[in-house]
Structure 1
């Protein structure tokens, strides 16, 4: 539930992890960009990287070091095949994991794709004050993740609480 207040737009970067996608056929990345912009947020940057943990880390590290980027959403590489390494690439960069994100994502996915949801290693966390959300590579998973989890948590009007209201405190030691 949201209260009536002025919306605070965030700068959000989108990373598609895929060995085969290009800007022309990156439907999942497009879904995320369309949804974050429709919600009123700004696209900081959109990049496609291959399933290579070091390239994923390099791109993510650049964004989490940039104080102008408040959130990152990745799509792809969260499965269990040999090339799927997004969680391994990102977990080591996180200061804190948001464990409930992956758990809740799989519950919501179960409603749509049943037991296939166990193949998702969706995760979220905070790195250098930047929220990081890792979603599977299907456009359906991106819609589920944004529509049912991320959008409300990146809106400071969501009550009883949201991730945006914590932003000023993320770098406290």
Structure 2
């Protein structure tokens, strides 16, 4: 079973939060606020925060700008099935590797909370430029679930048996090979 190894020192990571919305701004970005609060409460560094419209190229550009600069990007919004929901496609335009199990685990958690409605979410995760990138749905509840049930643990170096932080130095090792 997984656990926190208190004998290991906590290592804060630099996290950027991206809200994808045509209608939100900083005064009413509840999902972004949830993520920022949780990131900071966990002891991580909020490296940046932005809101971009539901535009595939704009989302991908923002992700590319953060790749290699921050350790983690968490986006919220645009993961549904409507015509304006293009966040997943933008993430996949940028990913070098997809973290398939993130989507699976998020769906399993969502089923426990919202039943079969979980089928409508396309949460995803991947890596680009040595930066982890995760796309969560645009509801505060989904952001809480994604953070509280998955990311809080995987972004904690003390989490056992393994976590994302301990392999960060190796994400770009293919570029150092001769």
Q: Quick check: TM above 0.5?
A: yes
SS of 1:146's partner is: helix
Match runs of 1:50-65 below 5 Å: 50-65=53-68
TM-score (ref. length: structure 1): 0.97
Deviation track 1:8-49 (CA, whole Å, cap 9, x = no partner) reads 011100000011111011000000000000000010111000
RMSD over aligned Cα atoms: 0.6
Runs of 4+ in 1 over 2 A off after TM superposition: none
Which position in structure 2 is the counterpart of 1:9? 12
Deviation track 1:46-86 (CA, whole Å, cap 9, x = no partner) reads 100010011101111110042xx100000000000000000
List gaps (5 residues or longer) in structure 1: none
Deviation track 1:80-114 (CA, whole Å, cap 9, x = no partner) reads 00000001111021111000000110110011111
In structure 2, C-alpha distance between the alignment counterparts of 1:154 and 1:104, rounded to whole Å? 15
C-alpha distance 65-168 of structure 1, shift in aligned 2 (>3 A): closer
In structure 2, C-alpha distance between the alignment counterparts of 1:36 and 1:44, rounded to whole Å? 10
TM-score (ref. length: structure 2): 0.95
